[in-house]
Chains A and B, each alone.
Chain A
Amino acid sequence: MRIILYLNQFFGQLGGEEVADAPPRLVTEVVGPGRALATLLQPDDQLVGTLVCGDSYFADHTEAASATCLELIRTLQPDLLLAGPAFNAGRYGIACGELCRRATAQLGIQAVTGMFEENPGVELYRHDVTIVRTGHNAVAMRQALELMLRLGRDLVAERPLDAPAVAGYYPHGILRPAIGRAVAARRATDMLLAKLSGQSFETEVPLPKMDAPPPAPSPLVDLRNKVVALVTDGGLVPAGNPDNIESSAATHFGVYSIEGLDRLAPEDYEVSHGGYDNRYVKADPNRLVPLDAARQLEREGRLGKLYDKYVVTTGLSNPLQNSRRLGREIADHLKQAGVDAVILTST
């Protein structure tokens, strides 16, 4: 296998935080973890190059950094990209995850990285990238590299991976049918009896952990000269649903003009949301996106200035990963449009 190793400025031995803005470069010497990796290779493996990039550079110039890295990778024609491992380093984890995802999607190259479970890169990328579970710092380097190499070999040989818990990577979120040891009713009863008698049991469906919310944004001191946007996850779209916002688990959001409108007229809108009885909102869309009242308050100087568009998506049954992405994308759009605050109305 021809292998490329991606490292950040620290593991790539450029320096510390002072060179975290180093742009990507290809290094032919074997540096940092590359040395440990070299001892783990088999006779027909070859470490064809090491790609080093500063963590801040990648974070601040993701498109440019990715493009440069992919071009450098492409010239070496590797079979496998190994990135990191990043352990608990957040920017590094995100760079590794993003680069692996793109290498596979755009160049068709198999890629594996490694992260500690609390690395934010895990939740962001585990569905798209094979991420090996590592300890939280470089003490666990050798073990992590062994695991990354082993999974990389399986991926390159197109062998199906063992289950995440067995092979040591974070679940991709893929469900595979299998024959259970007993029918579900029996398994559920056994679980309940164990729980009631204080015995241990293992749930079949672990509920997602909610991260602690980020600190609350500071209150707006003077609303009068602020821009406020109306956003909804209730699926209220222009008649005809021009952007095909799905009525469940929407994958994207729509942005529609309310410029010059004093209210939302029922004949101009429809609802794409299968999770609530739509008729009241269809009869009067202002019951979901309160434009009529908002315009009044705007004229009275009590609500700042309304953004001239409203934003809509559909929250019904929307997987967390998707909702988080939508939230980030909507926030990016609104920030670029100069919006200061959001009133999000939800059914």
Chain B
Amino acid sequence: MTPVAQMVGSHRIVTGNGIVHPMGAADATPQAELELRRRLLERAAAALATPVEDPTVLS
């Protein structure tokens, strides 16, 4: 739902892995899921340190 986040003006947006489990993956092993979660959080941490002006999807 990143277009909605952009439209309402969220400045730093990281795309999650799907609506029903944004920080997970139902078809992956628990270990793989945890790694995915870590990666998404690392992206979020990097986004917090990134200067932005307009609503931006960062990957």
Interface of A with B (CB < 8 Å)? 210-221, 223, 228, 234, 276-281, 284, 286-290, 292-294, 296-297, 302-304, 341, 343, 345-347
Beyond A220-B49, A287-B33, A341-B48, 10 additional contacts (C-beta under 8 Å) are A212-B9, A213-B55, A287-B21, A290-B40, A292-B34, A293-B37, A297-B38, A302-B42, A343-B44, A345-B16
In the complex, the answer to whether B26 meets A280 with C-beta atoms within 8 Å is yes
Please report the C-alpha to C-alpha distance between residue A214 and residue B33 in the assembled complex, in whole angstroms: 35
In the complex, the answer to whether B11 meets A216 with C-beta atoms within 8 Å is yes
Between-chain CB contacts (< 8 Å), 18 pairs: A213-B8, A213-B11, A216-B54, A219-B48, A219-B49, A223-B48, A277-B20, A279-B20, A280-B24, A288-B24, A296-B38, A297-B41, A343-B48, A345-B16, A345-B22, A345-B23, A346-B16, A347-B22
CB-based nearest A residue for B14: A343
Q: Of A217, A218, A287, which contacts B22 at CB under 8 A? A: A287
The interface residues of chain B, by DSSP majority, are classed as loop
In the complex, the answer to whether A219 meets B50 with C-beta atoms within 8 Å is yes
In the complex, the answer to whether A220 meets B48 with C-beta atoms within 8 Å is yes
In the complex, the answer to whether B37 meets A292 with C-beta atoms within 8 Å is yes
CB-based nearest B residue for A275: B19
Q: How far is the CB of B4 from chain A (nearest CB, A)?
A: 9
In the complex, the answer to whether B45 meets A281 with C-beta atoms within 8 Å is no
Residues of B within 8 A of A223 (CB): 45, 48-49
CB-based closest 7 A-B pairs: A213-B9, A287-B24, A293-B37, A216-B11, A287-B21, A290-B23, A280-B21
Please report the C-alpha to C-alpha distance between residue A211 and residue B8 in the assembled complex, in whole angstroms: 8
Residues of A within 8 A of B8 (CB): 210, 213
Number of B residues near A (Cβ < 8 Å) is 33
In the complex, the answer to whether A347 meets B19 with C-beta atoms within 8 Å is yes
Please report the C-alpha to C-alpha distance between residue A41 and residue B33 in the assembled complex, in whole angstroms: 71
B51: Cβ under 8 A from any A Cβ: yes
Q: Which of B2-59 contact A (CB under 8 A)?
A: 5, 7-12, 16, 19-24, 26, 33-34, 37-38, 40-42, 44-45, 48-55
In the complex, the answer to whether A221 meets B49 with C-beta atoms within 8 Å is yes
Residues of B within 8 A of A303 (CB): 41, 45
In the complex, the answer to whether A219 meets B51 with C-beta atoms within 8 Å is yes
CB-based nearest B residue for A304: B45
CB-based nearest B residue for A344: B10
CB-based nearest A residue for B53: A216
Q: How far is the CB of B16 from chain A (nearest CB, A)?
A: 7
Please report the C-alpha to C-alpha distance between residue A277 and residue B52 in the assembled complex, in whole angstroms: 33
Contact A276 B41, CB 8 Å, known A210-B8, A220-B48: no
Residues of A within 8 A of B53 (CB): 215-216
CB-based nearest B residue for A323: B8
In the complex, the answer to whether B20 meets A290 with C-beta atoms within 8 Å is no
Residues of A within 8 A of B54 (CB): 213, 216
Please report the C-alpha to C-alpha distance between residue A282 and residue B43 in the assembled complex, in whole angstroms: 25
Residues of B within 8 A of A277 (CB): 20
Residues of A within 8 A of B50 (CB): 219
CB-based nearest B residue for A294: B41
Please report the C-alpha to C-alpha distance between residue A303 and residue B24 in the assembled complex, in whole angstroms: 19
| Most A-side CB within 10 Å, residue of B9, B11, B24 | B24
In the complex, the answer to whether A217 meets B11 with C-beta atoms within 8 Å is yes
Residues of A within 8 A of B1 (CB): 346-347
In the complex, the answer to whether B11 meets A287 with C-beta atoms within 8 Å is no
Residues of A within 8 A of B51 (CB): 216, 218-219
Residues of A within 8 A of B20 (CB): 276-281, 347
Residues of A within 8 A of B52 (CB): 216, 219
